Amino acid sequence: MIVLGIDLGGTKLTASVFTEDGIILRHENVPIGTLKGTEVGKMITDVISRMLNPEVTKGDRIAALGISVPGISFISQGTVWAPNIEGWENYPLLEEVKLVTGDIPVIIDSDRACYILGEVWQGNAKGCKDAIFLAVGTGIGAGILVNGEILRGSNDIAGCIGWMALNRPFNDLYKYCGCFEYHASGEGMGKVARQYLSENREYAGELAVKVIEEITSYDIFNAYKNDDLLAKKILNECIEYWGMAVANLVSLFNPEKIIIGGGVFGPALSLIPEILKEAKRWAQPVGITQVKLEPSGLGGDAGVFGAGYLAMRSIIKE
Amino acid sequence: MIVLGIDLGGTKLTASVFTEDGIILRHENVPIGTLKGTEVGKMITDVISRMLNPEVTKGDRIAALGISVPGISFISQGTVWAPNIEGWENYPLLEEVKLVTGDIPVIIDSDRACYILGEVWQGNAKGCKDAIFLAVGTGIGAGILVNGEILRGSNDIAGCIGWMALNRPFNDLYKYCGCFEYHASGEGMGKVARQYLSENREYAGELAVKVIEEITSYDIFNAYKNDDLLAKKILNECIEYWGMAVANLVSLFNPEKIIIGGGVFGPALSLIPEILKEAKRWAQPVGITQVKLEPSGLGGDAGVFGAGYLAMRSIIKE
């Protein structure tokens, strides 16, 4: 049996055909560029049509299709909300895809759900039934697996961990992104740096020579490596927030593994021991001894592997 | 069909025989007093034997038995950890109960799990599949229902929300109970009052005339009703913590309902609108509009109803 996984990322679409063992038979990347609305839908259905073509599959029939979207998948409606794609507030992706897939099962889920499914299938959470992917990128989200099933909540928007309240009292800066995301996401790190620089004119370190509006989390990581004081201050605060978030996931979910990944976490991987140290101070003391904190085993491919596993699980469940 | 529910509380054991519709046919309360270890076990099996007696059940056969325990139920081992019962660190309750129940199914779960099951069966969360009971008493715990099933975690200790990190930086006072429980449980409120009184000798309000070691959450609620400044300060801080915790549950779980109950929440019920107001500032903005925040519909009986529903569900699942 083979399945097709599609990961609609921020800048490109990745499509992979997988065997049951997670081996990639065929693979395609398509840049999204400036496409929007139905143009993105058409790009997806074009890729699917190509991948389903019997000449391409050499006679093997693709048994199911999984799609990872950068936002929320409203399962019962078949619609998708993706904040970074213009016109995808309530996009009827399932209906559109069904036009080219015929009777092949199609399952669409959020990127964060796919990340943890990918890690459980072929990454660092292999075989886990209670595991969480903490995705720290531009924003922050969590893909949460409870007893082998994705935690969806009553309306498909569970896992919005970027909104976690960690620092009282409430600050109006948290209003549009949430407290945790404000302080410890890629975008948040830039904001915190800009705020500090505007309030501390005497700082003359590495980050002071940057164009203030353009400072990114990568600049901060680079400066951190060079022992820059501001970068250390910002990252030490992030370690505190990441540790508190890990602790709260442990106390609430008692997971076997928490995988930390996402765009920001490439350079932050070496900080995992310090994050765990901070988490140990806060977390339920038995639960924290039962959890393993690990980096993503699949990196940027977690989404497409998860999409493949979405498809694979739908067949196995039948 | 009838089932037996047993709630082992802090001071008494409650046993009720329920019909399928949640009607109580028979009911018994037994004080626990100073019993410990196997004495508590024997008290439970004595009650069960009486309740199973055909003369008492008038020929109706009890189809299953559910037990709510004030601690953790390790389902696969059949053992129980109950911190307030001496000798119940790893107590083989299932094995002991099985000696008097024969082939009747027996299910044991934590009180917090039973609270939410009771509310879903016959209380204020009737029919919900994604609902949470936030139990604020001496300590703080959460019974969490995900898609109709109790969230257990990998080792049965999910829902330890009293350990939730909400107030950075870490304070050594959180070490033995967790940050949320330190600030906003019944015991925590007493601690916070005592700390304040020892640091503010000039305060001469209602709480200053109490014996400082004996100040309880009830004293604080009574003083709050009389507009005492210290009581208002403490409870306003609690409202902030309770609101942040509700917000975090909403952002992570996207539940239909959050039920607030437990010993402290009798007098705190009127604060629910203020807790919701605080939660709205922090929570994921769509999820917070989808949740209902309600008081317990069963009060002190939530545990025994939940134990009854544990039993009922085990039969229905078969």
Q: Which domains does chain A have, with CATH numbers?
A: 2-120+300-317 (3.30.420.40), 127-295 (3.30.420.40)
Model confidence over A229-259: pLDDT tens digits? 999 999 999 999 999 999 999 999 999 999 9
The distance of A284 to chain B (nearest Cα, Å) reads 6
> How far is it, in rounded angstroms, from Cα A151 to Cα A205?
44
pLDDT at B318: 64
The distance of B248 to chain A (nearest Cα, Å) reads 5
> How far is it, in rounded angstroms, from Cα A106 to Cα A99?
11
CA B272 vs. chain centroid, Å, equals: 17
3-state secondary structure of B258: strand
Q: What is the dihedral of CA B127, B130, B136, B141, to 10 degrees?
A: 130
Amino acid letter at B73?
S
- Taking CA atoms, what residue in A is nearest to B142? A252
> How far is it, in rounded angstroms, from Cα B151 to Cα B114?
12
Model confidence over B67-117: pLDDT tens digits? 999 999 999 999 999 988 999 999 999 999 999 999 999 999 999 999 999
Contact B157 A254 (CB under 8 A): yes
B contacts of A179 (beta carbons < 8 Å): 282
pLDDT at B317: 74
Contact B244 A154 (CB under 8 A): no
**Beta partners for residue A149, in sequence order:** A146
Taking the model in full, what pTM does it have? 0.96
Tokens read off for B29? 């309360």
The distance of B70 to chain A (nearest Cα, Å) reads 17
Q: What stretch of H or E contains B49?
A: helix B37-52
Q: Which of A72, A155, A242 to probe the B interface (max B CBs under 10 A)?
A: A155
ipTM score here? Answer: 0.96
Handedness of CA A223, A228, A231, A237 (dihedral sign): positive
- A to B CB pairs, distance under 8 Å: 141
Contact B165 A247 (CB under 8 A): yes
Residue range A142-165: mean pLDDT, rounded: 98
A166 closest CB neighbour out of B142, B153, B168: B168
Contact A284 B151 (CB under 8 A): no
Are the C-beta atoms of A112 and A143 separated by less than 8 Å? yes
What does DSSP assign to residue A141?
A: E
Tokens read off for A35? 């496409």
> How far is it, in rounded angstroms, from Cα A82 to Cα A70?
6
B164 closest CB neighbour out of A248, A254, A255: A248
Taking phi over 0 as left and psi of -120 to 50 as alpha, with beta for the rest, B33 belongs to: left
Contact B152 A254 (CB under 8 A): yes
pLDDT at A276: 98
A contacts of B286 (beta carbons < 8 Å): 155, 157
B251 closest CB neighbour out of A156, A160, A282: A160
CA B51 vs. chain centroid, Å, equals: 25
Beta strands in chain B (DSSP E): 2-8, 12-19, 24-31, 62-69, 72-74, 79-81, 106-110, 131-136, 140-146, 149-150, 257-261, 292-295
If you count them, how many residues does chain B have? 318
The distance of A107 to chain B (nearest Cα, Å) reads 19
Model confidence over A288-303: pLDDT tens digits? 999 999 999 999 999 9
The distance of B22 to chain A (nearest Cα, Å) reads 25
Model confidence over A188-212: pLDDT tens digits? 999 999 999 999 889 999 999 988 8
Contact A254 B290 (CB under 8 A): no
Contact B168 A169 (CB under 8 A): no
A contacts of B71 (beta carbons < 8 Å): none
> How far is it, in rounded angstroms, from Cα B8 to Cα B28?
12
Residue by residue, pLDDT tens for chain B (318 residues) are 999 999 999 889 999 999 999 999 999 999 999 999 999 999 999 999 999 987 777 778 999 999 999 999 999 999 999 988 999 999 999 999 999 999 999 999 999 999 999 999 999 999 999 999 999 999 999 999 999 999 999 999 999 999 999 999 999 999 999 999 999 999 999 999 999 999 988 999 999 998 888 999 999 999 999 999 999 999 999 999 999 999 999 999 999 999 999 988 877 889 999 999 999 999 999 999 999 999 999 999 999 999 999 999 999 876
Tokens read off for A56? 């391409």
A287 closest CB neighbour out of B157, B256, B282: B157
